[in-house]
Chains A and B, each alone.
Chain A
Amino acid sequence: MSQELSLSILSGKGGTGKTTLAVNLALALDNVQLLDADVEEPNDYLFVSPKIGEKEKESVMRLIPEVNDEKCTACRKCVDFCEYNALAMMLDKVLIFEEVCHSCGGCKIVCPENAITEKEKELGKLYHDSLDNLDFWQGELNPGEEKAVPVIEKLKTKIDHDKKVIIDSPPGTTCPTIEAIIDTDFTIVVTEPSTFGLHDLKMVVEMLNNLDQDFAVIINRSESDADYLIEDYCQENGINILLKIPFSRKIAELYSNGNPFVYELEGWEEKFKTLYRDIIEEALNNERNNSN
């Protein structure tokens, strides 16, 4: 392979084990770039760079409209145009709701009086830390902001294909999730053996199939008397399960203290290395099948 593989890690709901997998896998490998794209609540830093807030950062800006009340004739064309109700006309004055604005610039174009200009507003931030063997990036959405996609887009400009790229995606099936996974070679879906876990896994699988995205499943909090929930579903649908991380008090305690368990529990570094080889094999197989 001329480039390293890019991998995204995803789950149907929060709290399933994306961070656990992303961090421990990243730390088990060499020459890795870990990007935390779960920009509404990034937490990989707790395990790899707890002082990320003091590290190198840059702003992610977006444009929002500004109305010159002197020029505005209250024609309402901008309000009627805005699909997202980011503008309202109250007592002949345009109100702007910055949080719901999608920064499309349409209001500025439709204004016949040239009363609308755009100004920059900080939407979020990117943080960066260079560790031994690990290039770590984090996207973060500012409190009160609703649009995560532009932060993830900017984060993706930092991708270095000479490294093993691991993107920790936002959970679920929304636009930010899709933005985080869409350009990666392969996706790992983390799930747990519960009715909720299965329900949310199905949603994610439906999305991935719609996107023609190659993927495999990992079971977190695996328990022998519950795993059949996920195993039966995966078997029926031809989905490979590449790893099980056991439901273990020790792993939970390490997690709650911010310790990646790959460092603490014997055998896991090798398991994650094997997992990565399996992922590459799976990705190559799929590539071959797709080109046939």
Chain B
Amino acid sequence: MKLIIPAVGASNFETEIHENFGRANYFAVINCENNEIKFVNNTAANKSSGAGVGAAQLCADQNADAVAAYHFGPKAYEALKAAGIELLDLKEQKLIKEAFNDYQAGNLTEAEAGPGGHF
């Protein structure tokens, strides 16, 4: 299983989660079988529009099984759903490791599409 979480930096499990999905600086890509983490640059973050769609494409291209974030915009939601990726809701978690631990423990619930976050 592969889990993706938006991240503010590109270092390790101690990195903070980015508050936004589409405009996150990086994505933490975690292989849940061996707990390996790698970071990919979110090339969609600086696009004038459609960052959520671009970020969803990136997650699909990384073969993600699940994505966990605080908030998904409507277009990112639709795109990730179409890719068959599970969308999970983050709340109190601050660091990647907290989100990952909650994911492993099965504590994350399914996310809903929120309003578009960027105008």
Q: Is the CB of A146 within 8 A of B83?
A: no
CA distance A34 to B50 in the complex (A): 35
Asked if A93 lies at the interface with its beta carbon under 8 angstroms from chain B, I say yes
Q: Is B68 an interface residue (CB 8 A)?
A: no
Cβ contact within 8 Å between B83 and A90: yes
Q: Which residues of A contact B51 (CB under 8 A)?
A: 85
Q: Least Cβ distance of B76 to chain A in Å? A: 10
- Secondary structure type dominating chain B contacts: helix
User: B residues touching A (Cβ–Cβ < 8 Å)?
Assistant: 44, 47-54, 56-57, 60, 75, 78-79, 82-84
| A90 → chain B closest CB, angstroms | 4
Contact with B along A70-111 (1 / 0, CB 8 A): 000000000100111111111101010101100000000000
Q: Quick one: which of B47, B48, B49, B79 contacts A90, CB cutoff 8 A? A: B79
Contacts of B60 in A (CB 8 A): 88-91
- Distance between Cα atoms of A87 and B82 in the complex (Å): 12
Are B49 and A100 in contact, with the CB atoms below 8 A?
yes
Which listed residue (B53, B56, B57, B84) contacts A100, Cβ 8 A?
B53
Choice from A79, A82, A97 contacting B75 with Cβ under 8 Å: A97
Known A-B contacts A95-B78, A95-B79, A100-B75; A88 and B53 likewise in contact (beta carbons under 8 Å): yes
**From residue A78, how far is it (CB to closest CB) to chain B in Å?**
12
Q: How many residues of A contact B (CB 8 A)?
A: 17
| Proximity string of chain A (125-150) to chain B, C-beta cutoff 8 Å, 1 when within and 0 when not | 00000000000000000000010000
> What's the minimum C-beta distance from B61 to chain A, rounded to whole angstroms?
8
Q: Which residue of B lies closest to A80 (CB)?
A: B57
Cα(A99)–Cα(B82), bound, Å: 17
6 contacts between A and B (CB under 8 A): A86-B53, A88-B53, A88-B54, A91-B60, A99-B75, A100-B50
Contact at B84–A91, with CB atoms within 8 Å?
yes
Contact of A93 among B47, B48, B54, B82 (CB under 8 A): B82
C-alpha spacing A91/B84, complex, angstroms: 8
Q: How far, in whole Å, are A79 and B79 apart by their CA atoms in the complex?
A: 13
8 closest A-B pairs by beta carbon, nearest first, are A85-B50, A90-B83, A90-B82, A85-B53, A85-B54, A100-B50, A100-B49, A88-B57
Contact A89 B75 (CB under 8 A): no
* Shortest CB distance B82–A (Å): 4
Q: Which of B52, B53, B57 has the most CB of A within 10 A?
A: B53
- Contact A84 B47, CB 8 Å, known A90-B60, A91-B84: yes
A146 touches B49 (CB 8 A): yes
Cβ-defined contact, B82 with A97, below 8 A: no
In the complex the two chains form, what is the Cα distance from A84 to B54 in whole Å?
9
Q: A90 to B56: give the CA distance in the assembly, Å.
A: 9
Known: A86-B50, A91-B60; 17 extra A-B contacts, CB below 8 A, are A79-B57, A83-B47, A84-B47, A84-B50, A85-B51, A85-B53, A89-B57, A89-B60, A90-B57, A90-B82, A90-B84, A91-B82, A95-B79, A97-B75, A99-B75, A100-B53, A146-B49
